[in-house]
Chains A and B, each alone.
Chain A
Amino acid sequence: MAQSNLATALPPARARADKESTLLANLKMIAMKLFGFVFTVFISSVIVFFSRWLVPGDPINFLLRGRSPNPEAIAEVTAIYGLDKPPLEQYWHWITGVLQGDFGRSLQYRQDVTDVILDRLPVTLGLVVMAGLMIAVLGLAAGIAAALFRGSWIDRGIIAGMSALAAIPSFVGAIVLIAIFSIQLGMFPSFGSGEGFGDMIYHLVLPSLALALSFIAVVGRVTRSAMMEEFSREHVEVARSRGITEVAVVFRHVLRNSLGPIMTVSGLLVAGLLVSSAIVEQAFGLAGLGSLLVSSVDRLDFPVVQAIVLIVVTAFVAINTLVDLLGPVVDPRLKAGKGAR
């Protein structure tokens, strides 16, 4: 009467074929995502490049500012910057240069854009990475604590605190942090990016915190709600019924299963992080990409604007592609070729 056929596995040959097809499907999925990445970046590069024609103002005027508009001089400068060529050719010239690391020449600095950007990159990179770490550690900690003590005054306090944080714009946060930690307590510098690596980290503590504050609130709330949902799942009760310690239940069965939504939201937050970094750099007088972008827009330095926007877009798309690729690792049900039944 026992229906043993229900429990028989695939014969070995088919199991092997299955394994091979799974591998193939995985490779196919990775290839598709990478293609999507390249395609998105390409489309963005087109938009970034051609949007220059939508902006009022002619770069030539900026280049010749303060000088007599001598037609010959205009023609000469136009030729130097390649502005006399048809737009498509200009794009081709630009994009092939970009692929070799050449973003053209800055109009305001009269230097290679690549050099200008490389000068500023470490500060912004340090700022974003430090803020990212703070967001991950403090956001997760706040979310886990709220979920652990759900319904209690700890939970309510954390929620209230996070709501307040989320409502504070980063420039206000920056001013408050400067007022408390550099003026009152004198613990951290309020201006500049310092000399050398260690000093830079020290100088970046307050800016990173100012940048991270509202994002900590978002990650904390997502963590809390994802974990709350996971806590109500039956497999969590099953785990408890089997005598598994509460710590293991929380980390291996609740947090582990909540990583999917947390990662997805975090990936999307990166865009906001990159944008807000411009404001924070301004507030703390940091010479980073954000402040460079603001001043370049101001002066119609389009090669620099295009380069920074393209870099930011590429970073954003790359991080989200990475999140997508990690999806099946975090949740095996997402593996290609296998529906979650």
Chain B
Amino acid sequence: MSLLEIQNLGIDIRVNGLTNRLLHEVSLQINSGESVALVGESGSGKSLTARAVLGLLPAHATTHGSINLDGTEILGASKAALRQVRRTTAAMVFQDPRSSINPVRTLGAHLIEPMLQVPGSNRAELEARAVGLLGSMGLSNPEARMKQYPHELSGGMLQRVMIAGALMNDPQLLICDESTTALDVTTQAAVMELLSTAVRERDMGMLFITHDLALAASIADRTYVLRRGEVQEAGDTRQIFTAPTADYTKKLIASTPSMRSGPAAGVHTLPSTEGAELVLKVENAFKTYHPSGQPAVKAVQDVSISIPAGGGLAIVGESGSGKSTLGRIVAGLEEQDEGTMTVAGGQIETGSAKERRLARASRVQMVFQDPYQSLDSRITPAKALERVLKLHYKLDAKAMKARISELLASVGLEEKHANLLPRKLSGGQRQRVAIAKAMALNPRLLVLDEATSALDVSVQAKVLELVNKLRRENGVAVLFISHDLGIVGEICDELVVVQHGRIVESGPTGQVLNHPAHEYTKSLLASVPRPRWAKDEPVREPADNNSY
């Protein structure tokens, strides 16, 4: 008997009288000591499956099939039985540690709360165990941490606290739902290390849910690929990733730059920009923030970058490296303290504040990370484009309509999308609308701030393709800000790596990725998840591993 045995699990949900099938006949097994990955894109039902294991079902859901966890049937279990399972048998680590821990209670209270409710528990004993676990999670000063509040710790440290909390009751099954997605790449590597150590030492079973195929390959013995609530493919992880049989798996792998290998996946090449005029020239820029009551934050220190017309420059760094501040300075949303910046030839100095703002907007446009938040939920794409165009051009109704259609077509949207509210559009479609808005003024430079991070891999691939098409056809230069080393090669010829507001390394993308010179770049590259079976191979040699 497996530790977890899910058989023909189906979940339906009734909304406004309509029944939606969220899971179709999902079967999944996990044995003690086995790590199993469940991969899929958003809406595939992977989180739903994970929550169902703990009996956390959405309201108005009906289920059929069976979930047997260590001898307990979860579906239809009593509240008391579910509490028992959640306290002793299985524990879950969620995606965003910052929103997973109650912000107004201490970490100590978070850690011991469930076990404290078990009759006969002893607070002092539990506290001692919590301190021990915090220590084993690599947190220094664990006693002091117990009295701290979540906002006093970084995201990586909080996720360690979450894992400690999950291990408090020695569960037999650890469920990780995108547990490292919100973390920086080096932090992710450290947390993954912790997770695999914990699973190995305690001989736990692990259900690892992720959208990141490379991450799944780095930890799981077996993998299930889920799409729209159905298992597409299941089996040995290496087998699935090296010789996928389902079309969907093949497509997913093809969309994940870091899973590809071989010469075909070399650095993206575009027409040479040698000798072209510069559209962006930033020299010795500095920016320091002075939050009240806190030490000054040197977000940008002595940074110089330049991009030729039609060029692509990637800025890579972890959170807090100042990469977004730099992007905001280039887009004119922030002013640098020191240094000079020239955008598309000539500084913008003359005219009223409004004229300067418009002049800058017509040269540089920015696309933000989350299209769910960057679009006004009450405004249709056509209306949004019309507003941007009206601000800058005098177009008659017919010309306006034609221009809007042209813009929507250029980002791969159809007429029927023009008058839909954002909530009717998918994430990828929304980001296309955001890009269309940015392209409406024919800017010379497009700043993409993590513009694909919130998207599914297959959607991300299409959006990157779109950006490349715009570069080719409109000659727009791109400043691509990202934490993901895996995708910068897709789009940028030049790369700068920033840490603590300073550029630590720069050069052609292929050269930096294949021959990193700076320690920080090396550690970033080493932190990119790699399949287990590749672990013993040497790190990224240009000859045999050209996946960037």
Contact = CB atoms under 8 A, between A and B. Distances in A.
Contacts of A244: 83, 113-114, 117
A257 B156 contact: no
B85 A243 contact: yes
Interface in B124-161: 137-141, 144-145, 149, 151-152, 154, 156-157, 160
B94 A338 contact: no
A9 B86 contact: no
A257 B103 contact: yes
A136 interface: no
Given A4-B138, A7-B160, A235-B100, A242 B144 contact: no
Contacts of A252: 102, 105, 113
A3 B149 CA distance: 22
Contacts of A237: 56, 94
Contact of A240 (B56, B145, B526): B56
Contacts of B291: 339
B36 interface: no
B165 A332 contact: no
A234 B103 contact: no
A258 to B, nearest CB: 10
A239 interface: yes
B149 A332 contact: yes
A15 interface: yes
B358 to A, nearest CB: 34
A336 B293 contact: yes
Interface string B80-105: 00111111100110101001111111
Contacts of A243: 82-88, 114, 117
A252 B101 CA distance: 12
A76 to B, nearest CB: 59
Contacts of A257: 102-104
B527 interface: yes
B190 interface: yes
Given A245-B83, A330-B104, A338-B293, A3 B99 contact: no
Contacts of B99: 233-235
Nearest to A29: B293
B272 interface: no
Contact of A9 (B105, B141, B160): B141
A230 to B, nearest CB: 10
Contacts of A1: 189-190, 193, 526-527
Contacts of B56: 237, 240-241
A6 to B, nearest CB: 5
B102 A235 contact: yes
A242 B91 contact: yes
Contact of B102 (A4, A253, A336, A337): A253
Contact of B138 (A2, A235, A239, A339): A2
A248 interface: yes
B121 interface: no
Contact of B103 (A9, A15, A240, A333): A333
Interface string A218-248: 0000000000000001110111111111101
A242 B165 contact: yes
B54 interface: yes
B156 A6 contact: yes
Given A3-B186, A7-B157, A338-B293, A242 B140 contact: no
A341 B319 CA distance: 13
The majority secondary structure among interface residues of chain B is helix
Interface size class of A (residues with CB under 8 A): 35 or more
A268 B528 CA distance: 53
A8 B105 CA distance: 22
B17 to A, nearest CB: 16
B375 to A, nearest CB: 22
A237 B190 CA distance: 26
A211 B430 CA distance: 51
A8 B100 CA distance: 22
B140 A8 contact: yes
Contacts of B102: 235, 239, 252-253, 256-257
Nearest to A233: B99
A332 B104 contact: yes
B350 interface: no
Interface in A244-270: 244-246, 248, 252-253, 256-257
A185 interface: no
A20 interface: no
A337 B294 contact: yes
Q: Which has the most chain B C-beta neighbours within 10 Å: A8, A233, A243?
A: A243
Interface in B381-421: none
Interface in B532-548: none
B306 interface: no
B511 interface: no
A119 interface: no
A141 to B, nearest CB: 22
B151 A340 contact: yes
Nearest to A253: B102
A240 B82 CA distance: 10
Contacts of A333: 103-104, 149, 151
B151 A241 contact: no
A117 interface: no
A242 B186 contact: no
Nearest to B109: A252
Contacts of A330: 104
B139 A7 contact: yes
Nearest to A238: B100
A242 B84 CA distance: 9
A246 B83 CA distance: 10
Contact of A234 (B94, B104, B160): B94
Nearest to A234: B99
Nearest to A330: B104
What are the 6 tightest A-B residue pairs by CB atom distance, in nearest-first order?
A243-B86, A243-B87, A337-B293, A9-B141, A9-B140, A242-B114
Interface of A: 1-4, 6-9, 15, 25, 233-235, 237-246, 248, 252-253, 256-257, 330-333, 336-341
6 contacts: A1-B193, A2-B189, A7-B140, A243-B88, A256-B102, A257-B103
Given A7-B140, A242-B113, 9 more contacts: A1-B190, A1-B526, A2-B193, A3-B187, A7-B137, A244-B117, A257-B102, A333-B149, A338-B294
